[in-house]
Structure 1
Amino acid sequence: MDFVLRCEMPVDLLVVSELLGNEHKFSFEGREIVLKLSKRYFSSDDDEPDQEASKIARCVGWSKEPSGKRAVHISIEKLFLTVQVLDSDDIDVASEMVISEAKTSDLFWEKNTPQRFQEAGRKLSNIASRAFDYWCRVTRWKTGLSYFGLPLERHEAHPGWRYLASVDPLEYVASFNDTATIHVLPSVTVQEWEVIQESLQAGVQTSLWIDTFHESNRRLAAGDVRGAYLDAAVSAESFIRHKLMQSVAALPATETAIRKRIESWNMTDVLSRFDKISTLSSLDLSREQLANLRSVFDTRNAIMHGKHVDLKEAELKVMLKSVKALVDK
């Protein structure tokens, strides 16, 4: 018996239909974790549509074939993550508890107290959340889907009904309803699914520059332009400093002065000497890309120093392409 986290996605995961029923298995904090896609999905084209599956997954793309339409793309709303239950969790489970659905609950509570289950459940729930976060970060990394697994709604700072009034503000003439934006992600392919499994199985951790790059894209889409600029700068700087420290890794351990100098080296100075540092020049960035990176750091510095900055979404979108060119190396 496993502890299950049913994950409701803020933005649906789009997959090719071949991935239905597939799973990722990996170890996390000493437990076996399984992330599974349900085989069930709703399709209005089916003779008997699975109505109960409509909130788990839905067919959103078909292909025409001689035998009729074939499901190609499936939009996944709910994912299922299971955490292995260990003897040390002190949850008494037995096979007879799942033989009869009618007796399952009664049999379980005959052998377990609510207090003991709550304590174990809290621990397992926290592990499940951390494992799912890890899976999402690896999935964003290996697919480039920045929005996946993250909240994307633009939060209205001052929510409320908006309308046109003449004299009395309580009497409206016409109400205003803004258009809704629906974000659609590209489909995860079978090849990407396999690459994700390889990384999870190897226990590879995502880098700070990868996580903050995707968070910057997510914040930009959610309307937090200032936060997006800050994360973009953190992404670029952490990667550049990583490359700089790699360049002095072969120096003797006693050479602490040069390491400290590089750790505190101003990013503006680093970028002005980018072509003169072999570790960085090998990244082969264009002049335009370097100029965009300077703009990211200049904007970040202005924000951090309390200056007024006219932040523009369109400009940041261009700059993020240069950050991607850097951190994707």
Structure 2
Amino acid sequence: MLGKSHAFRYRDATVIITLPTRDQATESHDEGSRAYLDGYVLEYGADIARTAGINTVDVVVQQGEAIDVPIEIFARQPKAVDLLSAPQQQRLDDIVTASTDIASNAFEYWLSLLRWKTNNFRIGRREPLDNQSGWSTYLHDTETHHPIWAATIFLNVNFSSAITENVWEEVRSTAERAEETPIFYKLLDDAHESHNRREFRRSIIDAAIACEVFMRSLVMNKVPLELDADMRQMLEEANINQYLRKFVPNLLAEKRRTVFKALVNDHLNSLFDVRNKIMHMAREDRATAENCIRFIKATQTLFEIGKTYE
């Protein structure tokens, strides 16, 4: 995978995103390394790296514009202003500004495809700042301050989906088709990220909106285009309970309908109730880590149930 590139059209430009090469990868996760080798296994008496972690990629934007510059500029450091007229300098500045905007947005688009195809919200996102010291919590005697009890220490191990050759090809073909990551997948990623940062209110709101957008998309994609505009608007604006009780179940085969109804009763009703309490009544007593995990899993299950109709 190291050294591979994706090239795709984005905003009337060609964008090329390239992973670091094997020569640019360090043997361990060094500070400032572009990539590092990982997942070592012992083969024939030698440690062989099976995976690599990527810290930076190259993003090249080709806009297809040409501008004449003096030959002397190629022997100078960048931005030799004495060799260019003011209009030429302004034109180059405009190209730089446009290219920066395209590169930034194209990179985020590319990351969204990677997260979508790997189902890994962590790609391209920083780990949250840890406000814990690493020491256990102790109970002390109030008079002598002698520690008499210590909390059990738990270790959290995060699992991340690797970007395999198959995933790489899926992202390439998706980008070439200029296909966008569905907004409900982005919202689910945001719910994961907020939970990871212990922002439980936001996580629950994102999960609820992800479910709502998914169900509305599911139904509206099945509505005939020739349907009267007012009737279509009525369906689009219908209360979410109509989708939970009638619209979505009517689309599903019997087995999936049974699973969906159980999901509604066990989790989705609770999710929308908690969302409403947070947004409309400022009550956050149910915005807990446990509920975040429960609702995120329910959202993922909903996506699986309705995947046939995407």
Alpha-carbon distance change, 256 to 155 in structure 1, aligned in 2, over 3 angstroms: farther
Distance 1:267 1:279 in 2: 17
Q: So what's the TM-score if we normalise by structure 2?
A: 0.78
Counterpart of 2:239, as a letter, is N
Counterpart of 2:186, as a letter, is D
Matching of residue 296 in structure 1 with residue 268 in structure 2: no
Alpha-carbon distance change, 237 to 58 in structure 1, aligned in 2, over 3 angstroms: same
What are the equivalent positions in structure 2 for 1:151-230 lying under 5 Å apart?
A: 151-154=126-129, 185-230=160-205
- Output one character per residue of 1:270-319: Cα deviation in whole Å (capped at 9) or x when no partner: 21336752258685434442231222111111112124132111222122
Counterpart of 1:313, as a letter, is A
- Residue 152 of structure 1 and its aligned partner are, at CA, apart by 4.1
- Output one character per residue of 1:239-274: Cα deviation in whole Å (capped at 9) or x when no partner: 111122123225x34x23432221121112321336
Higher percent of residues as strand = 1
Residue aligning to 2:6: 24
Q: So what's the TM-score if we normalise by structure 1?
A: 0.74
Distance 1:37 1:261 in 2: 47
Matching of residue 325 in structure 1 with residue 295 in structure 2: no
- Residue 135 of structure 1 and its aligned partner are, at CA, apart by 0.3
Residue aligning to 1:259: 232
Residue aligning to 1:309: 284
Unpaired runs of 5+ residues, structure 2, are: 132-153
Unpaired runs of 5+ residues, structure 1, are: 1-18, 45-49, 98-102, 157-178
- Residue 325 of structure 1 and its aligned partner are, at CA, apart by 2.1
- Output one character per residue of 1:17-49: Cα deviation in whole Å (capped at 9) or x when no partner: xx01111111111111111111120015xxxxx
- Output one character per residue of 1:80-113: Cα deviation in whole Å (capped at 9) or x when no partner: 111114326x57487983xxxxx34169555446
Q: SS in structure 1 opposite 2:281?
A: coil
- Residues 33 and 131 of structure 1 are in contact (CA less than 8 Å); yes or no, is this contact kept in structure 2? yes
Residue aligning to 1:81: 59
- Residues 283 and 326 of structure 1 are in contact (CA less than 8 Å); yes or no, is this contact kept in structure 2? no
Give 2:208's match in structure 1, choosing from 233, 236, 246.
233
Q: SS in structure 1 opposite 2:55?
A: strand
- Residues 112 and 186 of structure 2 are in contact (CA less than 8 Å); yes or no, is this contact kept in structure 1? yes
RMSD: 3.5
Distance 2:252 2:115 in 1: 27
Distance 1:207 1:140 in 2: 11
Distance 1:239 1:106 in 2: 48
Distance 1:187 1:315 in 2: 27
Structure possessing the higher relative contact order (Cα contacts under 8 Å, 6 or more residues apart): 1
Alpha-carbon distance change, 236 to 294 in structure 1, aligned in 2, over 3 angstroms: same
Distance 2:253 2:215 in 1: 8
Q: SS in structure 2 opposite 1:247?
A: coil
Residue aligning to 1:148: 123
Matching of residue 61 in structure 1 with residue 32 in structure 2: no
Q: SS in structure 2 opposite 1:87?
A: coil
Q: SS in structure 2 opposite 1:69?
A: strand
